[in-house]
Amino acid sequence: MNQAASILPVVGAAHWPYPRHIAHRGAGKLAPENTLAAFRHGASFGYRMFEFDVKLSADGKPVLMHDATLDRTTSGAGRVDALTLGELAALDAGGWHSPAYAGEPVPTLAAIARYTRANGFHVNIEIKPVPGNECRTGAAVALDALALWQGADVPPLLSSFSEEALDAARQVAPGLPRALLLDKLPADWPARLRRLGCVALDVNHRALDAAVIAQAHADGFKVLCYTVNDAGRAAELLSWGLDGLITDAVDRLAPQP
């Protein structure tokens, strides 16, 4: 038995412990993305699962950040992986959004694990490497997640557009569930998921229809999609049996269990 399997419950088609509604980057666009403030805001609307983006600092520490550069969402500039964790800690990751959030720090994965575990929330960690750092990021994030969620009733769901990163995550933490992110659906998507040992497909909702969801379920995969902000489209996808809906619209889409 591998280390992950010994401490984490197995997640898959037979046991899927995650809620259907997942807040995107914490609380979508209502609070500064990928900050603890965003998670608290999403939680205030009843959300109990959060998607967020993780990459590595210069000294290899997993931090929450969507872009490869700091310019859009912090007071810093340049590549995220040019600064150490200590240097990132000095940045303002909230003031760009609105004055009420000025001074919000860049969270570490460890800080988010503490907050979400203390509140019984679930997480979808998107491994989002700075280009060229796929394997190192996949392995480091998975190892950190394994340690941070040790003993948890529900493990974090890892996802990535990078097959290299998912493969690296699988090698160091095979017991952590994985989903392959895709913007479009290539014909061989089931084979790709199988090769990476994924439990779920996580795809742009525009590529989804009832037949794809039915095929995925028949093949033993769960289906998540991003980023659905229209209530009618959300209802349609859920009526087709969608398992996880990632949304910015935490104030308009009431979360289901």
Using CB under 6 A, list all residues that contact ligand G3P: 24, 51, 53, 66, 126, 159, 181, 226-227, 246
Least Å distance, CB 38 to ligand G3P, is 13
Q: Give φ, ψ of 166 to 5 degrees.
A: -65, -40
The radius of gyration computed from the CA coordinates of the chain, to the nearest angstrom, equals 17
CA distance 45 to 29: 14
Contacts 24+ apart (CB under 8 A), 223-228: 224/22, 224/124, 224/159, 224/179, 224/200, 226/24, 226/51, 226/181, 226/202, 227/24, 227/28, 228/253
Least Å distance, CB 224 to ligand G3P, is 8
Judged by CB under 5 A, the chain residues 114 through 143 that form the site for Ca ion are 126
Q: Residue 81 interacts with Ca ion (CB under 5 A)?
A: no
Least Å distance, CB 124 to Ca ion, is 8
Catalytic: 24?
Answer: yes
CA distance 41 to 35: 10
Nearer to Ca ion, 31 or 187 (CB): 31
Nearer to ligand G3P, 151 or 186 (CB): 186
Site pattern 45..74 for Ca ion (x: CB under 5 A): --------x---------------------
Of these partners, ligand G3P, Ca ion, none, which one is at the site of residue 159 (CB under 5 to 8 Å by kind)? ligand G3P
Nearer to ligand G3P, 69 or 227 (CB): 227
Candidate list 21, 24, 97, 205, residue with the active-site label: 24
CA distance 34 to 12: 27
| Helical pair 134-148 and 109-118, crossing angle rounded to 10 deg | 30
Candidate list 15, 41, 66, 122, residue with the active-site label: 66
Q: How many CB atoms sit inside 10 A of residue 119's CB?
A: 11
Place of tokens 């590595």: 56
**Contacting positions for Ca ion (CB under 5 A):** 53, 126
Residues annotated catalytic, as ranges: 24, 66
